[in-house]
Chain A
Amino acid sequence: MLQALIVIPLLSALAIAFAPKANARVIATMSSVICLAVGVLMAWQFRWGDSGEMQFGWSMDVLPELGISMSLGVDSIALWLIELTLLLAPICVIGSFSAIKDNQKTYYAWLTALQAALIGVFAARDLAFFYVSFEFTLIPMWVLIHLFGSTNRKKAATKFFLFTFTGSVIALAGLVYVAWFNAGMMGGWSFDIAELQQAARRMNGTQQGWVLLAMMAGFAVKVPLFPVHTWLPLAHTEAPTAGSVVLAGVLLKLGTYAIFRFVLAFVPDAVVAYAVPIAVLAIIGIIYTGLICWVQRDVKKLVAYSSVSHLGFCVLGLFAINSVGVSGSVMYMINHGLSTGALFLCIGMMYERYHTRSMDEVGGLANKMPVWAFFMVFFTLASVGLPGLNGFVSEFLCLLGTFQSGAGSMGVGGTVGSLGPWFAAVAGTGMVIAAIYLLYMVGKIVFGELREPADYHVHETLPIDLNGREIGVLVPLAIGCVVLGVLPTPVLRTIEQPVNQLVQTLEDAHDHMLVRGGEDGVVVVAVWDESEGDVE
Chain B
Amino acid sequence: MMSLATQGMVLFADAHPMVEKITHLHAEIVLFIATVVVMVLGLSHNAGMRRLCGGVSVVALIVAGVLGAMTPDMAHMPMPGMSGFLKVVIAAVGVLLVLLIEGTVDRAYENTVRKTGVFDGLRSTRGEFYAFMLFSLTGLMLTTGADDLIWLFLALELTSLPTYVMVSISTSRARGQEAGVKYFFLGAMGAAMFLYGFALLYGASGTTVLFAPAGEVSIASVFASNGLGAMGMLGLVMAIIGVSFKIAAVPMHFYTADVYEGAASSVSAFLAFVPKLAGFAALILLLSTVGWTHGELHDSLPDAVRIVLWVMAAMTMTVGNVLAILQKSVKRMLAYSSIAHSGYMLVGLIAGPGNGGLLAGNGLAAVLFYMLCYGFMNLGAFGVLASLERAGMGGESEEAETFADIRGLCATNPLLGWTMVLCALSLLGFPPLLGFFGKLFLFTSAISAGEILLVVVMGINSAIAAFYYLRLVIASFIDEPTAESRAFGVTAFGSRVAASAISAASVVVLVLAASWLMGKTGDAVAPSPTQQVDLTAVDGIHATIAPGGAEE
Contacts and interface: CB of A to CB of B under 8 A. Distances in A.
A342 B432 CA distance: 32
Most buried by A among B425, B431, B437, B543: B431
Nearest to A184: B546
Nearest to B462: A169
SS class of chain A's interface: helix, strand, loop or mixed? helix
Contacts of B137: none
A147 B358 contact: no
Nearest to B432: A132
Contacts of A63: 437, 514-515, 518
Nearest to B467: A162
A180 B548 contact: no
Contact of A161 (B440, B470, B547, B549): B470
B515 A172 contact: no
A131 B431 contact: yes
Contacts of A65: 359-360, 515, 518-519, 522
A158 B546 contact: no
A183 B448 contact: yes
A154 B356 CA distance: 47
Interface in B498-552: 514-515, 518-519, 522, 542-543, 545-551
A-B pairs, top 5 by smallest CB distance, nearest first, are A184-B546, A166-B463, A132-B431, A202-B548, A169-B459
A179 interface: yes
Given A161-B466, A165-B463, A184-B356, A173 B431 contact: no
26 contacts: A61-B515, A62-B514, A63-B514, A64-B515, A132-B431, A136-B431, A139-B425, A139-B430, A143-B478, A146-B478, A158-B470, A161-B470, A166-B466, A170-B460, A172-B459, A173-B459, A176-B443, A177-B452, A179-B444, A180-B361, A183-B448, A184-B542, A184-B545, A184-B548, A204-B547, A204-B551
B436 A132 contact: yes
Interface string B452-487: 100110011011001100100010011000000000
Nearest to B474: A146
Most buried by B among A161, A166, A180, A214: A180
Contacts of A128: 440
B446 to A, nearest CB: 9
B443 A172 contact: yes
A24 to B, nearest CB: 16
B437 A173 contact: no
Interface string A34-67: 0000000000000000000000000001111111
B451 to A, nearest CB: 11
Nearest to A131: B431
A199 B440 contact: no
Contacts of B198: none
A448 interface: no
B70 interface: no
Nearest to A189: B360
Contacts of B546: 181, 184-185
A242 B392 CA distance: 45
Interface in A67-90: 67
A188 interface: yes
B447 interface: yes
A181 B452 CA distance: 12
Given A146-B478, A166-B460, A180-B361, A66 B466 contact: no
B441 interface: yes
Nearest to B448: A180
A181 B548 contact: yes
B439 to A, nearest CB: 9
A183 B515 contact: no
Interface in A146-177: 146-147, 154, 158, 161-162, 165-166, 169-170, 172-173, 176-177
A157 B361 CA distance: 36
A170 B456 contact: yes
Contacts of B522: 65
Given A131-B431, A135-B431, A183-B448, 14 more contacts: A61-B515, A66-B518, A135-B430, A143-B477, A154-B474, A158-B474, A166-B466, A170-B456, A173-B455, A173-B456, A177-B452, A189-B359, A204-B547, A210-B452
B142 to A, nearest CB: 29
Interface string B278-307: 000000000000000000000000000000
A136 B444 contact: no
Contacts of B545: 184
Interface string A279-315: 0000000000000000000000000000000000000
Interface residues of A, number: 45
B542 A176 contact: no
Contact of B432 (A136, A202, A210): A136
Contact of B547 (A135, A158, A189, A203): A203
A327 interface: no
Contacts of A146: 474, 478
B509 to A, nearest CB: 14
A189 B432 CA distance: 19
Contacts of A131: 431
A207 interface: yes
A199 B360 contact: no
A203 B551 CA distance: 8
Contacts of A185: 546, 548-549
Contacts of A214: 456
A173 B452 contact: yes
Contacts of A188: 358
A139 B518 CA distance: 27
Contacts of B361: 180, 183
A170 B466 CA distance: 14
A172 to B, nearest CB: 7
Contacts of A183: 356, 358, 360-361, 448
A189 B358 CA distance: 8
B447 A177 contact: yes
A189 B448 CA distance: 11
Contacts of A172: 440, 443, 459
Interface string A338-353: 0000000000000000
B548 A203 contact: yes
Most buried by B among A64, A66, A143, A177: A66
Contacts of B467: 162
B450 to A, nearest CB: 9
A513 to B, nearest CB: 14
Contacts of B447: 173, 176-177, 180
A225 B550 CA distance: 35
A188 B356 CA distance: 9
Contacts of A166: 459-460, 463, 466
Interface string B397-439: 0000000000000000000000000000100011110001100
A47 to B, nearest CB: 31
A196 to B, nearest CB: 13
Given A66-B360, A170-B459, A189 B444 contact: yes
Interface in B92-131: none
A179 B455 CA distance: 14
Interface string B353-366: 00010111100000
Interface in A92-138: 128, 131-132, 135-136, 138
Interface string B180-216: 0000000000000000000000000000000000000
Contacts of A184: 356, 542-543, 545-549
Nearest to A218: B459
A202 B551 CA distance: 9
B443 A173 contact: yes
Most buried by A among B452, B463, B518: B463
Contact of B463 (A62, A139, A162): A162
Interface in A385-410: none
A181 B443 CA distance: 13
A147 B478 contact: yes
B358 to A, nearest CB: 6
B194 to A, nearest CB: 33
Contacts of A189: 358-360, 444
